[in-house]
């Protein structure tokens, strides 16, 4: 009974074909995956986190920003890709009973200040002008790298703003405002300069939804903590520190983000459900009409994390030859001008040996004559003409 | 009397010379109480340097002196210390001679009134005797020379000393009775700083008294003399201003000097009342308040002239004091000038009510000025309010001093004509109250 069924003649061929197909499929899969590097949305992540209010009683805004900062760092975006703008220093504020800490939970459960906070724009540097310059890239050449948003057209940018706001504006530093029109124009400038691939804008202020009403550039998704006409409320005061520690919306967002890990597949729809009205008192809003992908397919880590999936393969991958390689153009020889040495720029020898100018001012002769004539006239009028003979 | 005066002058000159050579000279010349934007020595040097460079010294906001000062210092700038010491000595000598003559006038008038039986019967202790008046001129000269304010003003080389000299000569010529010279020196004083214009009234009253012309509005002699004096004064002023035009061939000096004095654009702190107010005033109110403040100087002339018709030199003293309190950029040099006159009224001592507290206020405030300046500018632990508080207190002290002397003077006059021991109709003692 051990006689093997004679294999059908087509089996090896089929097997070979199948294997080839599999191999091809596998190669295609690798190819796909490899090309996914170039077809999928972004290659790098940036975050711009802005807290716009100063003074001790706005502790919660700094705590908000630092919570998002912490989550974003934890999920993989490095400090070099985060622009953190804090308008005031709560950790070292003289009114802080626990110096060098910023808590986000009462009973001091979570210190979001930590050991390695890198604030890029601090205190009075957080102005509307600086914020817009960071976004649009129009920054003076002397600005250090840590203060720049060096994004490109494959960057996914997370922009988080918190502070005090109103219908159509956000207040900076208690002295100036940025309007929703300005913000929309800034984003349009970013789009036209190809400074982002996709942009997630989160705002936690009163009437926050008004800030995203005017956006008109593609690939922007926006979330806000409250609708127009509603106030965003703060979460819990800490009696030991004496101020409110967090705003409700960001508190629940932070809670939500604490469960995200770098490989999680949670998508944006879950983020939209964070903080329903029962918890937040205000109605969070979102705007996805400008976004070309379905929020269902957008991962949280697309914006909050900066993870690359790495798979090691022994196969070679043929890259598309149509990808144009950048030819480094050798710059043509410019006229090499010899740099002037410092001392030679000033004609020192000339200056040292310059004689002082001899121009001196003398009172005009007419004046002297007139003055002394008057004096002599008065003298003789007073003392009589009889003294004349003693003079002449 | 010449010998003690010469001794006093020598002492004063020595003190000044010593201070010039010490390190305090630099410190004092920077004090804002002593050098104001109008009369700082630094600005004179700057103006002359600008002139040497071929630029009008009045361009820019540096130089606010009159062209005659330019002429004076153009030749004397290397001997500036000597010039200021000489001006101080001249002022003291002029005051000495003026007060000597004035004492004679006072004594003559007193004798006249006694013979006319104008005085009440029991005022013997109020009558002044030549014995007690003998040392007053010396005291006046020494008060001026050795006053710390004058010394500081001289060491700082502020041209306030020159202003004081001109005013002292004006007083001397007025008391001597020479119409022409008095008008000329008054014109010079007005030309230097605008405010001596108000001294026209007391000088006129004194000269009228001297000529025995009664001050009646209907009298022809009064108007004749007044127009004569006013014409002399105005003509000499016009001549001096026109002469200054010929120095630099421009009218630049008028807005730079008089416009500056009147419109107070520079708000450097000083011991006056203007700077703090105008530092915090809105633009659209500043014109109104400048007018209000400036009127303060000129406003008291007419009422005082009405009240002090018979006593023009006292009127002069009060007017001088009002000028140095309410002028736009006062310095301690101005204060020193009217304080030099205080020995003239030493017979009023028994009627002065607040003299102890006032002298304490003035001394303490003068000492606190540099302290609070240091705290404000250098230590940063005070602010301008502190310094202005001391300024205010100092000026209030000065005003109270003047009003105290005014009260004492009027009270003495009342007692002279009504008797020392006042009784009411029913015989009980009455109190004299200044209403």
Q: Give me the interface pTM, i.e. the ipTM.
A: 0.77
What is the SS3 assignment for A244? strand
* Residue carrying the six token digits 């942009």: A199
Residues of B with CB under 8 A from a CB of A: 51-54, 70-71, 74, 178, 180-181, 184, 239, 243, 246-247, 249
Nearest chain B CA: its distance from A115 CA (Å): 35
pTM: 0.60
Which residues of chain A are within 8 Å of residue B181 when distances are taken between CB atoms?
378, 382
| Nearest Cα residue to A146 out of A73, A42, A48 | A48
Q: Do A363 and B178 touch (CB under 8 A)?
A: no
Nearest chain A CA: its distance from B170 CA (Å): 14
Which residues of chain B are within 8 Å of residue A381 when distances are taken between CB atoms?
180
Tokens of B117: 């039986």
What is the SS3 assignment for B423? strand
Those residues with Cβ within 8 angstroms of residue A80's Cβ, 6 or more apart along the chain or in another chain? A145, A146
| Nearest Cα residue to A277 out of A221, A232, A210 | A232
Q: Is A206 among the residues known to form the active site? A: yes
Q: What is the largest CA-CA distance in chain A?
A: 171
Q: Do B74 and A371 touch (CB under 8 A)?
A: no
Q: Which is the catalytic residue, given A51, A206, A275, A280? A: A206
Q: Is A292 among the residues known to form the active site? A: no
Q: Over the stretch A123-167, which tens digit does the pLDDT of each residue have?
A: 899 999 999 999 999 999 899 999 999 999 888 999 999 999 999
Cα separations in angstroms, A306 against A42, A155, A259, A262, A302? 10, 10, 16, 8, 7
Q: Do A382 and B249 touch (CB under 8 A)?
A: no
Query: What helix, strand, coil percent values describe chain A, rounded to 5?
Result: 40, 15, 45
Q: Do A367 and B246 touch (CB under 8 A)?
A: yes
pLDDT tens digits for chain A (392 residues)? 444 455 556 666 666 666 655 555 555 566 665 555 554 578 889 999 999 998 898 999 999 999 999 889 988 899 999 999 999 888 988 888 888 889 887 666 788 888 889 999 998 999 999 999 999 999 998 999 999 999 998 889 999 999 999 999 999 988 899 999 999 999 999 999 999 999 999 999 988 899 999 999 999 999 999 999 888 888 888 888 888 888 989 989 988 998 888 878 888 899 998 888 888 888 898 999 998 888 888 888 888 887 666 667 788 877 776 655 554 444 444 455 666 666 666 666 666 666 655 557 788 888 888 899 998 888 888 877 666 566 55
Buried/exposed code over A187-219 (b: 16+ C-beta within 10 A; e: otherwise): bbbbbeeebbbbbbbbbbbbbbbbbbbebebeb
C-alpha A245: how far from chain center: 23
Which residues of chain B are within 8 Å of residue A363 when distances are taken between CB atoms?
70-71, 74, 247
DSSP secondary structure string, A278-333? HHHSS--EEE-TT-SS-GGG-BTHHHH---------SS--PPPTTSPPPPPPPPPP
Residues 356-385 of A with CB under 8 A from B: 357, 359-364, 366-368, 370-371, 374, 378, 381-382
Q: Do B243 and A371 touch (CB under 8 A)?
A: yes
**Cβ(B296)–Cβ(B321) under 8 Å?**
no
């Amino acid at each position: 009974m051990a006689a093997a069924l004679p294999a059908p003649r087509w089996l090896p061929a089929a097997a070979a074909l199948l294997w080839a197909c599999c191999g091809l499929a596998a190669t295609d899969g690798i190819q796909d995956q490899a090309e996914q590097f170039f077809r999928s949305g972004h290659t790098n992540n940036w975050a711009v986190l802005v807290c716009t209010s100063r003074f001790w009683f706005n502790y919660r805004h700094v705590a908000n920003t630092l919570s998002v900062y912490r989550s974003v760092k934890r999920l993989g975006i490095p400090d070099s890709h985060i622009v953190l703008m804090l308008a005031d220093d709560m950790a070292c504020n003289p009114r802080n009973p626990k110096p060098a800490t910023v808590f986000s939970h009462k009973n001091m459960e979570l210190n979001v200040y930590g050991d390695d906070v890198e604030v890029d724009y601090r205190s009075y540097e957080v102005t509307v002008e600086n914020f817009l310059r960071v976004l649009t890239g129009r920054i003076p050449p002397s600005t250090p790298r840590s203060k720049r948003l060096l994004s490109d057209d494959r960057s996914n940018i997370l922009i988080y703003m918190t502070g005090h706001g109103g219908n159509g504006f956000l207040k900076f530093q208690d002295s100036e405002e940025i309007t929703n029109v300005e913000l929309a124009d800034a984003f349009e400038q970013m789009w036209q300069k190809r400074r982002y691939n996709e942009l997630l804008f989160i705002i936690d202020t009163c009437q926050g939804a008004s800030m995203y009403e005017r956006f008109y550039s593609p690939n922007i998704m926006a979330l806000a903590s409250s609708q127009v006409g509603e106030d965003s409320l703060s979460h819990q005061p800490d009696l030991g520190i004496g101020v409110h520690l967090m705003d409700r919306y960001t508190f629940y967002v932070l809670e939500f983000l604490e469960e995200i890990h770098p490989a999680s597949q949670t998508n944006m729809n879950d983020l939209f459900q964070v903080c329903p009205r029962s918890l937040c008192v205000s109605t969070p809003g979102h705007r996805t009409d400008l976004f070309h992908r379905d929020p269902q397919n957008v991962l949280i880590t697309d914006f909050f994390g900066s993870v690359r999936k790495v798979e090691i393969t022994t196969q070679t991958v043929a890259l598309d030859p149509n990808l144009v390689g950048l030819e480094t153009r050798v710059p043509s020889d410019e006229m090499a001008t010899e740099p002037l040495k410092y001392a030679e720029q000033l004609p020192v020898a000339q200056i040292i040996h310059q004689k002082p100018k001899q121009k001196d001012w003398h009172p005009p002769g007419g004046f002297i004559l007139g003055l002394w004539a008057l004096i002599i006239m008065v003298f003789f009028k007073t003392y009589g003409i009889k003294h004349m003979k003693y003079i002449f | 009397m010449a010998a003690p005066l010469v001794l006093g002058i020598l002492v004063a000159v020595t003190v000044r010379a010593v201070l010039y050579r010490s390190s305090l000279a630099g410190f004092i010349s920077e004090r804002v109480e002593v050098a104001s934007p109008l009369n700082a020595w630094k600005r004179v040097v700057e103006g002359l340097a600008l002139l040497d460079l071929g630029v009008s010294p009045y361009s820019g906001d540096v130089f606010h002196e009159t062209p005659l000062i330019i002429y004076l210092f153009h030749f004397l700038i290397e001997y500036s210390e000597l010039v200021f010491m000489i001006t101080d000595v001249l002022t003291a000598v002029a005051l000495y001679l003026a007060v000597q003559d004035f004492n004679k006038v006072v004594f003559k008038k007193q004798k006249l009134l006694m013979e006319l039986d104008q005085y009440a019967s029991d005022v013997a202790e109020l009558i002044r005797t030549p014995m007690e008046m003998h040392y007053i001129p010396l005291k006046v000269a020494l008060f001026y020379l050795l006053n710390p304010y004058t010394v500081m003003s001289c060491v700082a080389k502020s041209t306030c000393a020159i202003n004081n000299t001109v005013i002292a000569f004006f007083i001397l010529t007025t008391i001597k009775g020479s119409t022409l010279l008095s008008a000329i020196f008054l014109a010079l004083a007005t030309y230097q700083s605008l405010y001596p214009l108000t001294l026209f009234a007391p000088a006129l009253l004194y000269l009228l008294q001297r000529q025995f012309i009664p001050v009646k509005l209907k009298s022809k002699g009064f108007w004749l003399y007044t127009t004569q004096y006013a014409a002399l004064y105005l003509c000499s002023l016009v001549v001096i201003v026109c002469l200054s035009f010929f120095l630099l061939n421009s009218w630049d000096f008028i807005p730079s000097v008089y416009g500056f004095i009147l419109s107070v654009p520079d708000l450097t702190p000083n011991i006056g009342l203007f700077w703090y107010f105008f530092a915090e005033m809105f633009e659209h109110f500043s014109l109104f308040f400048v007018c209000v403040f400036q009127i303060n100087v000129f406003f008291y002339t007419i009422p005082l002239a009405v009240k002090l018709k018979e006593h023009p030199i006292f009127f002069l003293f009060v007017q001088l004091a009002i000028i140095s309190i309410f002028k736009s950029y006062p310095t301690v040099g101005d204060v020193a000038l009217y304080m030099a006159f205080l020995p003239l009224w030493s017979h009023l001592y028994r009627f002065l009510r607040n003299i102890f507290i006032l002298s304490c206020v003035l001394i303490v405030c003068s000492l606190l000025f540099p302290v609070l300046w240091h705290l404000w500018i250098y230590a940063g632990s005070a602010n301008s309010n502190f310094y202005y508080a001391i300024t205010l207190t100092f000026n209030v002290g000065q005003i109270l001093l003047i009003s105290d002397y005014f009260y004492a003077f009027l009270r003495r006059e009342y007692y002279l004509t009504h008797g020392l021991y006042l009784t009411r109709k029913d015989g009980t003692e009455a109190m004299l109250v200044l209403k």
